[in-house]
Amino acid sequence: MIVVACPGQGSQTPGFLSPWLELPGSHELLSVFSDAAEVDLILHGTQSDADTIRDTRIAQPLIVAASLLAWSALEQRTPSAPDGTAGHSVGEIAALVIAGVISAYEGMKLVGIRGRAMADAAALEPTGMSAIVGGDEAAVLTRLEELALTPANFNGGGQIVAAGAPAALEALAVDAPRGARVIPLQVAGAFHTSYMAPAVERLRTAAGAVTVSDPTLTLWTNSDGSVVTSGSKAIDLLVGQVASPVRWDLCMTGFSDAGIAGLVELTPAGTLTGLAKRGLRGIPSVAVKTPDDLDAAVELLSKDIA
């Protein structure tokens, strides 16, 4: 089983779409995506600085568009389809497109609305997020509870992301659990927590207008790492995920239980293959960061693994 994984917010870097625009048809595709998301993806993916593309309204459409652009290029190069797919946080929208649940255009419309709704929710009061690497998980969770912080992402490989008030995050960094490192993240709010509740209803309304099909590939959900076979349920989970923890650790457990033999991470890649090195030890992986990585992804997808 080969799984295609779609990364989430924070994986973007200035100019990362520039090499993709050299591929035939990519400029036209990004123009269509820009129209759907109401964001100038070509401008922000090639010229905007790090602070600009950190804006949730821009970052989320940019990340999903990058994954779909890489997916389109990959499809053109190989007849070998993956066996399954999953996305981390906003990457779930790209995964739903790859699994045939929604169209690419409707996926980009949804991510534009999601980004704006979450940015507006984050603006209601100051919040942030920090990654906690290492330490005993029980001790980490106890410390977060003491500080009224929420474990927003369980990323696997000994990494949990905490979210909440800036003062509490600072206190966590000053007095971290034994054996743990605390790394502040450059994001604009406490995503996947109750702070995002105002965004849920806006996304639910938008999702109600989308044409939905059942997935054609094995599709895992961030909700609990289970396989989703209903398109309508996949959309419901996608909406609720805005204010619920990301369980990427359970997604990786699901991959392992299904007998994963390889992982291809789409653009802007690197984060999920890094987690897989710890959570899926020994499983071959390819991070598609630029078009130069497509051949390696094609090779992995084309392998006939018994």
Describe the strand order of the beta sheet including 180-184 as a list of residue ranges. 180-184, 128-134, 159-164, 150-156, 246-247
Distance of CA 57 to CAs 39, 112, 123, 184, 285, Å? 8, 7, 12, 20, 30
pLDDT band at 303 (very low <50, low <70, confident <90, very high): confident
pLDDT digits (tens, 9 = 90+) for 157-205: 889 999 999 999 999 999 999 999 999 987 879 999 999 999 999 999 9
The per-residue pLDDT of the chain, averaged, comes to 95
pLDDT digits (tens, 9 = 90+) for 38-97: 999 999 999 999 999 999 999 999 999 999 999 999 999 988 889 999 999 999 999 999
Average pLDDT over every residue of 238-259: 96
User: Could you give all domains of the chain from N- to C-terminal order, each with its CATH number?
Assistant: 2-123+193-302 (3.40.366.10), 128-184 (3.30.70.250)
State residue 306's pLDDT score: 38
Q: Which residues are catalytic?
A: 89, 192
Fill in the DSSP letter of residue 19: G
Q: Identity (one letter) of the amino acid at 303?
A: K
DSSP run (H or E) holding 285: strand 285-287
Q: Both ends of the chain: CA-CA distance in Å?
A: 9
As a whole number of angstroms, the distance between CA 251 and CA 254 comes to 5
Q: Identity (one letter) of the amino acid at 265?
A: E
pLDDT digits (tens, 9 = 90+) for 205-231: 999 999 999 999 999 999 999 999 999
State residue 94's pLDDT score: 98
As a whole number of angstroms, the distance between CA 113 and CA 199 comes to 9
Q: How many other CB atoms are found less than 10 A from the CB of residue 77?
A: 14
State residue 305's pLDDT score: 45
Annotate 148-160 with b (16+ C-beta within 10 A) or e (fewer). Answer: ebbbbbbbbbbbb
Average pLDDT over every residue of 10-15: 91
Average pLDDT over every residue of 25-45: 97
As a whole number of angstroms, the distance between CA 73 and CA 50 comes to 26
Fill in the DSSP letter of residue 244: S
- CA quadruple 119, 126, 131, 192: dihedral, nearest 10: -50
Residue with tokens 């959309």: 235
